[in-house]
Structure 1
Amino acid sequence: MTATPESRTGARVQRLALARFTTLGVGGEAEVWVVTNHEQLAEAMEEPYRILGGGSNLVISDQGVPERVIRLSGPLAERDLTPDPDLSDPDRIVTGWVGGGVPLPGLIRALQKLGYSNLEGTVGIPAQVGGAVWMNAGTRYGEMFDGLHTLEIATPAGLRVVTPDDLRWGYRDSGIPRNHIVTRVRLKLQKRTPEEVLAKMTLADTARKGQPKMKTPGCAFKNPGGVGAGRLIDEAGLKGTRVGNALIAPEHANFIVNLGGATAADVHALLDLIRQRVGVPLELEYELWPGEVQLGASLPAQWALEPT
């Protein structure tokens, strides 16, 4: 086994099973770097890496991954929701920096108590802010880009600060390249009463009541052409199908759950079965590890600016 390196900048480095960091609860070992500042993050990014936040929407191989895995902590997992006086007015709030490692559910609860609206549609998503922004997580009631003002992104060439207008974002896609890390964001929010925000959160949360409560990465497939992927899987007669200890959820066929002791191989077998049996092409919403990892790749045209 390769020796675990020591960090020259003080990052905490350990070899750990990744299953403990995922909502599905599967995944083998990797070298995990817990970083608390930009200097530690820059060091961690010197070798091939992956970023792991809340671990939702993710299926990790039973063999783990060969790259180092980065997790944001300390100041990169703190939030400042104080309105910026130069950018805010009585109706619109632009916050201070919110770290990419901040858990999204706690952030949404804090915004509700302050009466800050725009992100209610993301209620119940078990992610960290950075990952939720990277994939533009959301529901039919709203998505992360509804409430973003500014993004700070670590790239192989250095830090960049951009706005949503700089990105080609869309449905479940931020337009941010795969080997870039959302380190912090500023939120753009509307001032409402806490009761008004709670009402919107309740509406979005009620729509999730039929979703399974067991360990799951979330929705397996994107809805093709406005048709519910869950409905297509159900019509193919696959709801409740089990491979090993992984199950297509009886509550909602677009969810795969871990009954306890499931493996990534079990989950992959179910995903393959769904694609074989459903009559239309389905695009995965899950991210599968390992997959292609790039380090220092060429940037798309919209990123061809000097780092700030």
Structure 2
Amino acid sequence: MTATTPSRTGVRVERLPLARFTTLGVGGEAEVWFAANHAQLAEAIEAPYRVLGGGSNLVIADAGVPERVVRLTGELAGRDLEPDPALSTDTEIVTGWVGGGVPLPGLIRTLQKLGLSGLEGTVGIPAQVGGAVWMNAGTRYGEMFDGLHTVEIVTPQGTRQVTPDDLEWGYRQSGIARGEVVSRVRLRLTRSTPEAVLEKMTHADEARKGQPKMKTPGCAFKNPGGVSAGKLMDEAGLKSTRVGAAMIAPEHANFIVNLGGASAADVHALLDLARERVGVPMELEYELWPERG
């Protein structure tokens, strides 16, 4: 096993298989840096790096990646949901800082119990806050930018804070450049009741009933031109198509699942086959590590 790089700020550094950090469960080894504060994060990104959050929407090569892989922990996975009195009103609150390493599902459950509305449309997305903001994760019932006030972005050049108005965000994209780290955010939410928020969450969650429950990165392709990618793949007869231990889900054609022991090569083969069969240009929703030409 290759020796890991020593840290001067106390970052925990280990060489680990990345499959354990992804919802698909594939991916080779890399040097993983667990950054617990801003000083550690600054050191972690001094060399070529990638940031790995909840591991959804991601397919990592079987050989892993040569760059450092950064995960946000400690202070950067903490959350302060107390209303900022200077920015909040009787109907709307702006929270304290929520770390990019905070798991989104747990955050959504807590907001529901507090009766805070704005992000319930993201219910069920297995991401961390930073990654969910970076790709503006969401469903047809809502997306991350519905509930953002401020985004803190860290790069090797320094740290800056921006608002959604500063970014060119839209469907499944935030306008935040690849390699920029969403370290923390502040949320803008509407005061409601736990019962009302739960009702919205339940409605959004009902739409996910037809999605597979096995290991999957999520939807494979963005909807081309407003047409459902899943419908196009279903019409192409792709449901239940297998390559190795990877399969296009029988429940929903726009999901690839790991039947157990799948490789990234299996998944890439299915993606290529889907594009060939559908015959319509389809843009990946998955991020590929490393990128393919």
Counterpart for residue 297 of structure 1: none
SS of structure 2 residue aligned to 1:153? strand
* CA shift digits 1:159-189 (9 cap, x unpaired): 0011001100000000001010000000000
| AA in 1 matched with 2:9 | T
What is the alpha-carbon distance in structure 2 between the residues aligned to residue 99 and residue 30 of structure 1?
A: 23
* Equivalent residue letter for 1:169: W
Structure 1: gaps of 5 or more residues: 293-308
Distance 2:98 2:134 in 1: 14
- Alignment match, 1:295: none
Gapped regions of structure 2 (runs ≥ 5): none
Structure 1 position 229 matched with structure 2 position 229: yes
Output aligned runs, 1:33-48, within 5 Å: 33-48=33-48
Amino acid at match of 1:88: S
Give 1:91's aligned residue.
91
TM-fit CA distance, 1:151: 0.6
2:128 is aligned with 1:128 = yes
Asked whether 1:188 is paired with 2:183, we answer no
Cα distance, 1:2 vs structure 2: 4.0
CA distance in 2, matches of 1:151, 1:243: 40
Look up the match of 2:55: 55
Cα distance in structure 1, aligned partners of 2:17 and 2:248: 25
Per-residue deviation at 1:156? 1.9
**Amino acid in structure 2 at the alignment position of 1:118:** G
Q: Partner of 1:70: helix, strand, or coil? A: strand
- Per-residue CA shift, 1:129-151, capped at 9, x if unaligned? 00000000000000000000001
Aligned partner letter, 2:114: L
Match for residue 144 of structure 1?
144
Amino acid at match of 2:96: G
Residues 1:24 and 2:24 aligned together: yes
Q: Which residue of 1 aligns with 2:248?
A: 248
Deviation of 1:279 (Å)? 2.3
Q: Could you tell me how far apart the structure 1 residues matched to 2:270 and 2:128 are?
A: 27
How many angstroms apart in 1 are the aligned matches of 2:157 and 2:279? 43
Match of 1:299 in 2: none
After superposition, give the CA deviation of every residue in 1:190-241 in whole Å (9 maximum; x if it has no partner).
Answer: 0001111001000100000000000000000000111110000000011110
Q: Superposed, which structure 2 residues align to 1:168-179 within 5 Å? A: 168-179=168-179
What is the identity, as a one-letter code, of the residue corresponding to 1:272? D
Map 1:147-158 onto structure 2 (within 5 A): 147-158=147-158
* Contact 2:2–2:15, Cα closer than 8 Å, also in 1: no
Task: For residue 33 of structure 1, report the CA deviation from its aligned partner.
Answer: 0.2
Aligned to 1:285: 285
Partner of 1:71: 71
The secondary structure found in structure 2 opposite 1:6 is: coil
Q: Which amino acid aligns with 1:31?
A: E
- Whichever residue aligns with residue 189 of structure 2, its letter is L
**2:104 corresponds to:** 104
SS of equivalent to 2:102 = coil
Give secondary structure in 2 for the equivalent of 1:97.
strand
The SS at the match of 2:93 is strand
CA distance in 2, matches of 1:291, 1:66: 12
Paired residue secondary structure (1:152)? strand
Residue 29 of structure 2 contacts residue 64 of structure 2 at CA under 8 Å; is this kept in 1? yes
Task: Give the C-alpha shift of residue 291 in structure 1.
Answer: 2.2
Superposition RMSD in Å: 0.8
Query: Aligned partners of 2:163 and 2:77: how far apart in 1?
Result: 20
- The aligned amino acid for 1:106 is G
Moved over 2 A (4+): none
Q: TM-score, normalised by structure 1?
A: 0.94
Q: What CA distance in whole angstroms lies between the structure 1 residues aligned with 2:113 and 2:3?
A: 47
- Spell out, residue by residue over 1:18-68, the C-alpha distance to the aligned partner (whole angstroms, 9 max, x if none): 000000000000000001001110111110000000000000000000000
Partners in 1 of 2:23 and 2:180 — Cα distance?
22
Structure 1 counterpart of 2:260, one-letter code: G
Aligned length: 292
